Amino acid sequence: MALLAALLTVAWLAAIVVAPFLTAPLSAFVYAVGSFVCHQLPDRSFHIGASQLPVCARCLGVYVGAACGALSGVVLAYGPAYSPLRLSANQARWSVGIAVLPTVASVLLEAAGRWRTTNAERAVMGFPAGLVAAFVVMSVLATLHYKQCVPRRPTAPSQPPSI
Protein backbone atom coordinates (compact mmCIF):
# COMPACT_ATOMS: atom_id res chain seq x y z
CA MET A 1 0.00 0.00 0.00
CA ALA A 2 2.80 2.42 0.89
CA LEU A 3 4.68 1.67 -2.30
CA LEU A 4 1.56 2.36 -4.38
CA ALA A 5 1.02 5.68 -2.58
CA ALA A 6 4.64 6.67 -3.22
CA LEU A 7 4.38 5.75 -6.91
CA LEU A 8 1.18 7.78 -7.28
CA THR A 9 2.82 10.77 -5.61
CA VAL A 10 5.81 10.62 -7.94
CA ALA A 11 3.51 10.07 -10.96
CA TRP A 12 1.51 13.20 -10.10
CA LEU A 13 4.70 15.25 -9.81
CA ALA A 14 5.89 13.89 -13.15
CA ALA A 15 2.53 14.72 -14.74
CA ILE A 16 2.81 18.31 -13.49
CA VAL A 17 6.29 18.77 -14.91
CA VAL A 18 5.61 17.15 -18.30
CA ALA A 19 2.08 18.53 -18.76
CA PRO A 20 3.16 21.24 -21.23
CA PHE A 21 4.61 18.52 -23.49
CA LEU A 22 1.71 16.04 -23.39
CA THR A 23 -0.92 15.65 -26.07
CA ALA A 24 -3.77 18.15 -25.81
CA PRO A 25 -6.29 15.82 -24.08
CA LEU A 26 -3.78 14.57 -21.49
CA SER A 27 -2.40 18.03 -20.90
CA ALA A 28 -5.90 19.45 -20.48
CA PHE A 29 -6.68 16.74 -17.94
CA VAL A 30 -3.60 17.54 -15.83
CA TYR A 31 -4.33 21.28 -15.96
CA ALA A 32 -7.98 20.62 -15.02
CA VAL A 33 -6.96 18.52 -12.01
CA GLY A 34 -4.44 21.20 -11.07
CA SER A 35 -7.21 23.82 -11.17
CA PHE A 36 -9.06 22.01 -8.38
CA VAL A 37 -6.15 22.38 -5.96
CA CYS A 38 -4.43 25.57 -7.13
CA HIS A 39 -5.25 29.10 -8.26
CA GLN A 40 -2.88 28.72 -11.23
CA LEU A 41 -1.98 32.41 -11.39
CA PRO A 42 0.55 32.89 -14.21
CA ASP A 43 2.81 35.30 -12.29
CA ARG A 44 3.00 32.86 -9.35
CA SER A 45 3.76 29.80 -11.47
CA PHE A 46 6.89 28.42 -13.03
CA HIS A 47 7.03 28.23 -16.80
CA ILE A 48 8.87 25.83 -19.07
CA GLY A 49 9.56 27.85 -22.16
CA ALA A 50 6.33 29.70 -22.84
CA SER A 51 4.17 27.10 -21.05
CA GLN A 52 2.93 27.62 -17.52
CA LEU A 53 2.95 24.58 -15.23
CA PRO A 54 -0.46 23.35 -14.02
CA VAL A 55 0.16 24.45 -10.41
CA CYS A 56 1.73 27.49 -8.79
CA ALA A 57 5.26 27.56 -7.41
CA ARG A 58 4.15 26.95 -3.81
CA CYS A 59 2.07 23.92 -4.80
CA LEU A 60 4.95 22.60 -6.89
CA GLY A 61 7.19 22.88 -3.82
CA VAL A 62 4.62 20.95 -1.79
CA TYR A 63 4.43 18.22 -4.44
CA VAL A 64 8.22 17.94 -4.76
CA GLY A 65 8.40 17.65 -0.97
CA ALA A 66 5.61 15.07 -0.97
CA ALA A 67 7.41 12.95 -3.57
CA CYS A 68 10.64 13.11 -1.54
CA GLY A 69 8.79 12.30 1.69
CA ALA A 70 6.91 9.40 0.12
CA LEU A 71 10.05 7.90 -1.40
CA SER A 72 12.07 8.28 1.79
CA GLY A 73 9.21 6.74 3.75
CA VAL A 74 9.22 3.70 1.47
CA VAL A 75 13.00 3.37 1.71
CA LEU A 76 12.87 3.49 5.51
CA ALA A 77 9.89 1.14 5.72
CA TYR A 78 11.01 -1.46 3.21
CA GLY A 79 14.73 -0.88 2.91
CA PRO A 80 17.45 -3.17 4.21
CA ALA A 81 17.13 -1.91 7.78
CA TYR A 82 13.31 -2.27 7.82
CA SER A 83 12.51 0.09 10.62
CA PRO A 84 9.35 2.03 9.87
CA LEU A 85 9.12 5.26 11.76
CA ARG A 86 6.40 4.95 14.36
CA LEU A 87 4.89 8.28 15.31
CA SER A 88 2.25 8.85 17.90
CA ALA A 89 -0.75 10.92 16.84
CA ASN A 90 0.63 13.83 18.86
CA GLN A 91 4.07 13.58 17.24
CA ALA A 92 2.48 13.46 13.77
CA ARG A 93 0.35 16.54 14.49
CA TRP A 94 3.31 18.51 15.83
CA SER A 95 5.56 17.46 12.95
CA VAL A 96 3.06 18.56 10.32
CA GLY A 97 2.22 21.71 12.28
CA ILE A 98 5.84 22.77 12.42
CA ALA A 99 6.43 21.84 8.77
CA VAL A 100 3.63 24.09 7.51
CA LEU A 101 4.95 27.12 9.44
CA PRO A 102 7.18 28.38 6.58
CA THR A 103 4.26 28.19 4.16
CA VAL A 104 1.85 29.90 6.55
CA ALA A 105 4.39 32.58 7.44
CA SER A 106 5.13 33.36 3.79
CA VAL A 107 1.43 33.55 2.91
CA LEU A 108 0.64 35.83 5.86
CA LEU A 109 3.65 38.09 5.37
CA GLU A 110 2.92 38.38 1.67
CA ALA A 111 -0.76 39.14 2.30
CA ALA A 112 0.25 41.82 4.81
CA GLY A 113 2.57 43.40 2.26
CA ARG A 114 5.65 42.74 4.43
CA TRP A 115 7.42 40.32 2.11
CA ARG A 116 7.27 40.04 -1.66
CA THR A 117 8.29 36.44 -2.32
CA THR A 118 9.64 35.06 -5.57
CA ASN A 119 8.43 31.82 -7.12
CA ALA A 120 11.61 30.08 -5.99
CA GLU A 121 11.00 31.23 -2.39
CA ARG A 122 7.37 30.07 -2.57
CA ALA A 123 8.47 26.64 -3.75
CA VAL A 124 11.11 26.38 -1.02
CA MET A 125 8.56 27.42 1.62
CA GLY A 126 6.09 24.76 0.41
CA PHE A 127 8.64 21.94 0.35
CA PRO A 128 8.71 21.15 4.11
CA ALA A 129 4.92 20.87 4.29
CA GLY A 130 4.81 18.28 1.52
CA LEU A 131 7.87 16.43 2.78
CA VAL A 132 6.67 15.96 6.35
CA ALA A 133 3.01 15.35 5.51
CA ALA A 134 3.91 12.62 3.03
CA PHE A 135 6.44 11.14 5.42
CA VAL A 136 3.80 10.97 8.17
CA VAL A 137 1.32 9.32 5.80
CA MET A 138 3.96 6.84 4.67
CA SER A 139 4.88 5.97 8.25
CA VAL A 140 1.23 5.21 8.95
CA LEU A 141 0.86 3.10 5.81
CA ALA A 142 4.05 1.20 6.58
CA THR A 143 2.81 0.20 10.03
CA LEU A 144 -0.51 -1.21 8.80
CA HIS A 145 -0.44 -4.98 8.68
CA TYR A 146 -3.62 -6.23 7.05
CA LYS A 147 -2.48 -9.84 6.85
CA GLN A 148 -1.98 -9.98 10.59
CA CYS A 149 -5.59 -9.09 11.33
CA VAL A 150 -7.40 -11.95 12.98
CA PRO A 151 -10.66 -12.87 11.25
CA ARG A 152 -13.75 -12.67 13.38
CA ARG A 153 -15.00 -15.92 14.82
CA PRO A 154 -18.45 -16.94 13.73
CA THR A 155 -20.89 -16.74 16.60
CA ALA A 156 -23.90 -18.89 17.13
CA PRO A 157 -27.21 -17.14 16.66
CA SER A 158 -28.78 -16.19 19.95
CA GLN A 159 -31.84 -18.11 21.02
CA PRO A 160 -34.95 -16.30 22.21
CA PRO A 161 -35.55 -16.73 25.91
CA SER A 162 -37.79 -19.68 26.75
CA ILE A 163 -40.92 -18.98 28.71
86-131 residue pLDDT tens: 778 898 899 999 999 999 999 999 999 999 999 999 999 999 999 9
Number of domains in the chain: 1
What is the rounded distance in angstroms from the CA atom of residue 147 to the CA atom of residue 134?
A: 24
Asked whether residue 160 is domain-assigned, the answer is no
Asked whether residue 155 is domain-assigned, the answer is no
- Helices 57-78 and 2-18: crossing angle in degrees, nearest 10, is 150
What is the rounded distance in angstroms from the CA atom of residue 137 to the CA atom of residue 77?
A: 12
CA 72 to chain centre: 13
Reduce the DSSP state of residue 81 to 3 states and report it: coil
Enclosing domain of residue 59 = 2-144
- Say if residues 13 and 64 touch (Cβ distance below 8 Å): yes
> pTM here?
0.83
